[in-house]
Amino acid sequence: MAGLPYEFALALRYLRPKRTFVSIITLICILGVTLGVAVLIIVISVMTGFGIQIRERLIGFNAHVTIESARGAEIQDWEGLSRRIATNSWVKGVSPYVNTQIMIKTQPTDGRPSAIFGTIARGIDPVLEAQNSKLTNTLMNGQFRLGPNSLLVPYVVARNYRIQVGDRLAIYSVPALERMVDSLRKGEEEARNADDYTVRGLIDLGMNDLNANLILTSLPDAQDLWGQGNREGVQGLSVMLYSFDDTATLKASRELQRQLGSDYFVGSWLTTNSDYLDAITTEKRVMFYILFFIVIVAAFGIMSALITFVVQKTREIGILKAIGATPTSVALLFLGQSLVVGMLGVLSGLGAGLLALRYRNEFLGMMNRLTGYDLFPASIYQFSALPAKVVPEDVLVICAVSMVICVLAGVLPAIRAAWLQPVDALRHD
């Protein structure tokens, strides 16, 4: 401790492990700070990794930017509009799509009863879509082939309704159902047969909401099912950007809106999923604030330990002040103790947190075996492993704020010791 100011030298000397009640309290305070910092780093890193994975899943299916008619009508000359959009420096690729509601009736061949359910059919051009999204990489079984009257069915829909590759499904479009209702109103008894489609493959769209409420078909088939009158028209255009982070997406969307004018509505994956993304961000912030209370509780422990220490060392404080120690020096002595306790707790918490993140999945597997429950079911979260992403800025904020809280915990005991009168201190029993 040579070369250190005597205030900090005394602070380190007083913190040496001794078999006293104060030493036990000090150790508990260090463990409290360690626990708080470690839990904060673990939770924030896991939530950050979860958010990144969710964003990747959203971007994997959703277009970076979507363009539709502002009047809700079909876009007829979509090829010309695509060439116009492609001239924008932000744009990497453009592809058309049609979304339409349909009713499906299964046609089992093994004697099982038929199932009827509604869903959304998304019509795409497989060649152009391959340039815009990861849809062509979602195949689980069968072939990614969208010929005439062909379907690609998410595995969740296939599991729920016992659909297999090669099965034939009866498809009722909304326009066809409307024509049937009109015929019944007019007293006509004309029966309209459903269109038969063949399941060519099973896919995984990455998210339960998509897997449960969407199927894929070819663009011409979706145009027929959409029933807007012009088989050449599309509902909208999907645009892929060279950069799709939040800032780039917003800038590209605004620039495309200015380029296309008020006849078209320009949306993005950020606006489409804004509620979902805002919920994740808000949850992360709330957890950050709530878990900091662990550090605050540890700080109250530090304050309690230092107040006890001031009472025990009252005579020594009186001697120090009698031989010339200033109130500032005495205050620095106790602030130095809280600084050391905080530093030990933060460093050990940082190490424990990073170590726990390194072996998080092994620990999760052990907890699953011990409890007999799947604590992170893939069927719900759609992740085979617990995601995590350590962001240096987050770790720096956690460690810095924890250090400040620990140092502030020593202010009250330091002030009490600094203004202690030497005569009163020396008379202390």
Amino acid symbol at 417: A
> Domain boundary residue among 269, 293, 323?
269
Using the 3D structure, point to which of 209, 241, 269 is the last residue of a domain: 269
The pLDDT-based confidence of 41 (bands split at 50, 70, 90) is very high
Both 261 and 290 in a single domain?
A: no
Answer yes or no: do 76 and 213 share one domain: yes
Span 171-194, average pLDDT = 68
CB 337 within 8 A of CB 406: no
The total number of structural domains that make up the chain: 2
Same domain as 295, residue 204? no
Together in a domain, 265 and 385: no
Q: pTM for this one? A: 0.73
Q: Minimum mean pLDDT among 228-232, 238-242, 408-412: which range?
A: 228-232
Q: Which of 218, 119, 228 lies closest to 172 in space, CA to CA? A: 119
Report the chain's mean pLDDT, rounded to a whole number.
81
- Considering the chain, what percentage of its residues have pLDDT values greater than 70? 83
**Does residue 385 form part of some domain?**
yes
Q: What is the pLDDT of residue 25?
A: 77
The pLDDT tens digits for 331-385 are 777 788 888 888 999 999 999 999 999 998 888 888 888 888 877 776 666 677 7
pLDDT for residue 225 is more than 80: yes
Same domain, 43 and 160: no
**pLDDT over 60 at 228, yes or no:** no
Residues 256, 173 share a domain: yes
> What's the pLDDT score for residue 9?
64
Which range of residues forms the domain containing residue 411?
6-56+277-426
Q: Is the domain of 126 the same as that of 251?
A: yes
**For the segment 270-326, what is each residue's pLDDT rounded down to a tens digit?**
887 777 778 888 888 888 888 888 888 888 888 888 787 777 777 777 777 677 777
Determine the pLDDT at residue 230. Answer: 54
Q: Are residues 408 and 348 in the same domain?
A: yes
Q: Is residue 241 part of a domain?
A: yes
The residues near 229 (Cβ < 8 Å, ≥ 6 apart) are: none
- Of 241, 269, 297, the residue at which a domain comes to its end is 269
